[in-house]
Amino acid sequence: MVQTLQPVEILGCGSYVPEKVLTNQDLLAFMDTSDEWIVERTGIRQRHIAREDQALSDLAIPASLQAIAHAGIPASEIDLIIVGTSTPDMLMPATSALIQHAVGASRAAVFDMEAACTGFVQAFIVAQQFLMTGMYRTALVVGGDLLSKFTNFTDRGTGMLFGDGAGAVVIRAGGENAVLSNLMGADGSRSDLITIPIGSRVPPSGERAENGGHHVTMKGKEVYKFAVEKVPPSITEAARLAGLELDQIDHFVLHQANARIIEAVAKRLGVSMDKMIVNIDMRANTSAGTVPIALAEAVHSGRIKAGDKVCMVGFGSGLTWAASIVRWTAGPKTQED
């Protein structure tokens, strides 16, 4: 049976970061560092940190509600919810189930995907497949992480990098096609470069966990090199698959890992920094949250408009990477959003 693939359009987006702000200056209480060093080496000035009693769903639910309101559809029309995260509320149930109940998407199928900082872009690509094949019509795709509970704030190699937050988009089969190209990749031989080692190998009650085994570990220099080498060819290939020259892309929404990585990628590609969406100064690295938060903030501030071509790129632990080029199809923000 030959089946025609459905177009996929983007209906809306949203984001949420917790209220509490931790500045570089605040970090000096825990870490031997300076505001100047962090700004110069990472571009980060502050990060938003969840309260002790907050979990990922507390950030993902408001982001999802904003995306659903922006989409202008009732939550009951959502058939599928996928959450990209490495820091779910619990190991089970999936955080997507908690979101389903909270937003009132009672008929949606749900699952979580774990691809660290690549999580949102991968979940976005996976959700599209269900819509293209006609299995589902409307999907809510969420990306977010709450890394502050897994960060050692005294560690100079990781403690200044991470923040908490979540973003979401609503996509629907039919209408004007938004998806121009997708690609995903992985190099599992370098899975040791960024880890949160807790899991079935190091259970939460184990001795290592009590001694900080639940904290992010990272070989920063190698991760930096990976990003600067892998992201530019991924963008070039995604553009080729979309049939676009790089100068036809209006905005690049890269994972916000380090401002220097974004600048190095722009330089290698010969793309102006004006086209790079950067919010790492205020939001830091929220892992799977960076791309949908930067996207939603740029859309709701009017920077990204309907018709613009947007290249989203996630990369991180795994190692994994994913790129998706879309023609933005959602309308402007409404009063109720």
Which residues form the interface with ligand COA (CB under 6 A)?
Answer: 33, 37, 41-42, 117, 156-157, 160, 194, 218, 220-221, 223-224, 227, 257-258, 261, 285, 316
208 or 221: CB nearest ligand COA: 221
Min dist. Cβ of residue 290 to ligand COA (A) = 9
**CA neighbor of 309 nearest in space, from 252, 267, 266:** 252
24 catalytic per annotation: no
Q: Cβ(174)–Cβ(203) under 8 Å?
A: no
Smallest distance, Å, CB 116 to ligand COA?
7
Q: What are phi and psi of 123, to 5 degrees?
A: -65, -35
**Cβ-based nearer residue to ligand COA, 75 or 277:** 277
Give CA–CA dist 145/116, Å, rounded: 9
Q: How far is the CB of 295 from ligand COA (least distance, A)?
A: 17
Pick 179 or 294: Cβ nearer ligand COA:
294
Q: Which residue in the shown chain puts its C-beta closest to ligand COA?
A: 220
Task: Pick the closer one to ligand COA by CB: 68 or 276.
Answer: 276
> Of the listed 13, 117, 182, 311, which one is catalytic?
117
- Spot the catalytic one: 24, 182, 258, 285: 285
**Cα 125 from Cα 153, distance rounded (Å):** 33
Q: What is the DSSP secondary-structure string of 27-76?
A: HTTTSS--HHHHHHHH---EEE---TT--HHHHHHHHHHHHHHHHT--GG
| Residue whose entry in the numeric block shows the structure tokens 């959502």 | 78
Instruction: Please classify residue 307 by burial: count the beta carbons closer than 10 Å to its beta carbon, then call 0-12 exposed, 13-18 middle and 19+ buried.
Output: exposed
What's the closest the beta carbon of residue 194 comes to ligand COA, in angstroms?
Answer: 6
Which residue number, 131 or 223, has a Cβ lying nearer to ligand COA? 223
Helix, coil or strand: residue 251 = strand
Residues in the chain: 337
Least Å from the CB of residue 220 to ligand COA: 3
Name the active-site residue from 48, 255, 258, 311: 255
Active-site residue 48, yes or no? no
70 annotated active-site: no
Q: Which residues are catalytic?
A: 117, 255, 285
